[in-house]
Amino acid sequence: MTEVMLEKKKRPYKLLLLGAIIVSGIVLHQMGILDWYRLLDIGEKYAHTWWFPPIVIVVKAVLYMFAMPGSSMYWVAGILFPPLYATIIVVIGGVSGSILAYRFSQNMSKDSANRIQSSRFFSVIRNHSDFLTLSAIRTLPNFPHSVINYGSGILHVPMTRFLLSTIIGFTAKGYLYTAAIHHAATADDLTDVIQLETILPLIVLTLLFVIGKFFQRKKLPEQPIEPEQETP
């Protein structure tokens, strides 16, 4: 009985810590502490080494794991490396960080999962966590990945669905963004890099996913999410 009571007392602290991490990431971003120029200065000296690209991947993964914006790594990778190489770095770092964030939020909310998942806010997310919707949100420009990563972890969205939509989103965004940044950097002009021409394909891809979901719902009844089975 004592163990049960202690377990109940611990539950709010994990949720508070999870919320504090998200808020801290937003505050750090707004304060400009996460300055990609600093890493770029180092990168200009060591970009030719074998160990610098893995560092960029690790930094991006850690940022996403703790709900901090990892978009700064698009600039670092896009300026220092060719578009295809930069895209690989962005995808590996983004997908790895998203999986870490998924598992982290899943573990942190485990004790209160039932209460959280039954809330109205997460009920809305649950009803829109199919593959096409996740893919659409992943490719939508400027949408915070932390919302998808943490929400999917808390709701136990199946890993296969989560992983495939994450790969699609980071691949599409990674190539378009890094290619635009790289071409602008080689032309010595970084003003207005992300223009309509860059984000238009992402918007079109997002609309295609939305249209696909519309026709899917017309043909098939909406299926409830089956949470990922926990390993005993």
pLDDT tens for residues 55-71? 999 999 998 998 887 77
Q: Does a structural domain hold residue 226?
A: no
* Beta carbons within 8 Å of 184's beta carbon, 6+ residues apart: 190, 191, 193
pLDDT tens for residues 191-228? 556 565 667 778 788 887 777 776 666 665 544 455 55
Q: Does a structural domain hold residue 79?
A: yes
Q: Does a structural domain hold residue 86?
A: yes
Q: Does a structural domain hold residue 126?
A: yes
**pLDDT the model gives residue 99:** 96
Q: Does a structural domain hold residue 111?
A: yes
How many separate domains does the chain show?
1
Q: How far apart, in whole angstroms, are the C-alpha atoms of residue 100 and residue 66?
A: 9
Q: How far apart, in whole angstroms, are the C-alpha atoms of residue 75 and residue 174?
A: 10
Residue carrying structure tokens 């009571």? 5
Q: Which amino acid is at 148?
A: I
Q: Does a structural domain hold residue 202?
A: yes
Q: Does a structural domain hold residue 209?
A: yes
| Number of helical (H) and strand (E) elements in the chain, helices listed first | 11, 0
Q: Does a structural domain hold residue 123?
A: yes
**pLDDT the model gives residue 232:** 45
Domain containing 54 equals: 2-219
